[in-house]
Structures are given as structure tokens and as C-alpha cells.
């Protein structure tokens, strides 16, 4: 029997991201996704039960990829400031490498399209970050505030800086990265 072609899933994901960025949700039709991915409309339904499942699946895939990029080979035995700078740079670089991904995640993160279970599942890979924050608080490096404040602060700045760079209001280079991280660190540090 003929096997499924793993490259097709990647092509479908990529096409979906592309269309989401350029045409927004309503422009992202199954027919266009198929065309962009270079396959027939019906083939989409071999790989994904329906549009909703495609979106949920892509969401989870991106979340996991993001977490992997963030934590792979992360060395925990360095001063916290350096560690957080590392996390900041990884996160920004990941967004820079493909704006489409963060645009997609941003748009769907709180939308009704993503099932609650998938949202929860997408959170799991990031739990280690929570632990790092907890420890840094214990050691009085970070402000003594509940972790959600820290987390919101990191996400808020990461998101907004990414968007500003995308819209050419801020540059992306060594120096600007330093500036951005300094602002973030001042917000977080004790």
C-alpha cells in the first residue's frame, strides 16, 4: 500500500501560515491552502479531518516547536540574568526566523477555534520556565510577585517587540536586542 507523505504535512502547515499572514482568517480557505501546498483539495482531508482539526494541529505543532527552540541545550548553571537573556534572545530569534508563526499563535491563542484541551496541551512544554522563575524568585533575583505577573511581563514584551519589529518601528540587531532586554530585565529584577 501507498504510504502518506510526511512532507505534505509540512507543506500544508507552511501554506496555512502563509495564507494566514497574507489574507487573514477568512482568506484562508481549504481550497487556497491546498493550492498553495501544491496538492488537491481532497488530499487535505486525508491528512486532517477538517479545517478545525488542521488549525488545532498546527497550533500544537508550533507551540511544541517554540518550546523546543526555547529550551533545547539551555544551560541552567549560569547567572540568572544571563539565563533570562538567553531565553529572551532565543524567543526573539525564533519569532524573527518566521513572523508567520508568531502571527498565527497570537491570533489563535485565545480564539474559540482552539479547543481547550489543545490549549492545555500546548502549555505543558513551557512548564520548566515556570520552575526557573520560581527559583529565581526564591533567590531574590526576581521581584517577589506571583509568577503570572512575571510570565505576563515576559510575554507582553516579547509579543509587542516582535510586532514592532515586524512593522519596522524597531530595528532588530545586537544593539536593539540589548535595549529591549534591558527594559525587560528592569521590569523583572528585584
Partner DNA sequence: TACTTAAGTGAATATAAATTCATTATATTT
Partner DNA sequence: AAATATAATGAATTTATATTCACTTAAGTA
Q: Residues in the site for DNA, rule: CB under 7 A?
A: 1-5, 8, 26-31, 39-47, 50-52
Residue 57's Cβ-side half-sphere holds a number of Cα atoms within 13 Å equal to: 15
Residue 179 interacts, among DNA, a second copy, none and using kind-specific CB cut-offs from 5 to 8 Å, with: a second copy
Write down the least CB distance from residue 10 to DNA, Å: 12
Binding partner at 4 among a second copy, DNA, none, C-beta below 5 to 8 Å by kind: DNA
Q: How far is CA 145 from CA 25, 87, 132, 139, 188, in A?
A: 37, 20, 14, 13, 9
SS3 at position 121: helix
Contact partner, 72, from DNA, a second copy, none, Cβ < 5-8 Å per class: none
Binding partner selected for residue 111 from a second copy, DNA, none, CB under the kind-specific 5 to 8 Å limit: a second copy
Contact 16, 24 (CB under 8 A): no
Sequence-distant (6+) residues with CB within 8 A of 101 are: 17, 62, 65, 66, 94, 95
Q: How far is the CB of 13 from a second copy (least distance, A)?
A: 20
Q: How far is the CB of 66 from a second copy (least distance, A)?
A: 17
Residues lying near a second copy in the complex (CB under 8 A): 22-27, 103, 107, 110-113, 143, 145-146, 148-149, 151-153, 155-161, 163-164, 167, 169-170, 179-180, 182-184, 186-189
What letter does residue 3 receive in the DSSP assignment?
P
Amino acid at each position: 500500500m501507498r504510504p502518506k507523505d510526511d512532507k505534505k504535512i509540512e507543506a500544508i502547515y507552511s501554506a496555512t501560515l502563509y495564507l494566514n499572514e497574507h489574507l487573514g482568517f477568512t482568506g484562508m480557505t481549504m481550497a487556497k491552502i491546498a493550492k498553495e501546498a501544491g496538492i488537491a483539495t481532497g488530499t487535505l482531508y486525508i491528512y486532517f479531518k477538517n479545517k478545525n482539526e488542521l488549525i488545532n494541529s498546527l497550533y500544537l505543532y508550533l507551540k511544541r516547536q517554540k518550546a523546543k527552540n526555547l529550551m533545547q541545550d539551555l544551560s541552567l548553571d549560569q547567572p540568572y540574568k544571563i539565563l533570562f537573556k538567553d531565553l529572551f534572545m532565543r524567543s526573539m530569534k525564533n519569532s524573527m526566523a518566521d513572523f508567520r508563526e508568531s502571527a498565527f499563535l497570537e491570533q489563535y491563542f485565545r480564539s474559540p477555534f482552539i479547543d481547550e484541551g489543545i490549549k492545555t496541551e500546548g502549555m505543558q512544554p513551557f512548564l520548566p520556565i515556570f520552575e526557573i522563575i520560581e527559583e529565581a524568585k526564591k533567590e531574590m533575583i526576581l521581584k517577589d510577585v506571583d509568577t503570572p505577573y512575571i510570565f505576563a511581563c515576559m510575554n507582553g514584551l516579547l509579543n509587542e517587540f516582535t510586532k514592532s519589529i515586524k512593522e519596522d518601528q524597531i530595528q532588530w540587531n545586537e544593539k536593539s536586542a540589548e535595549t529591549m532586554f534591558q527594559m525587560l530585565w528592569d521590569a523583572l529584577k528585584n
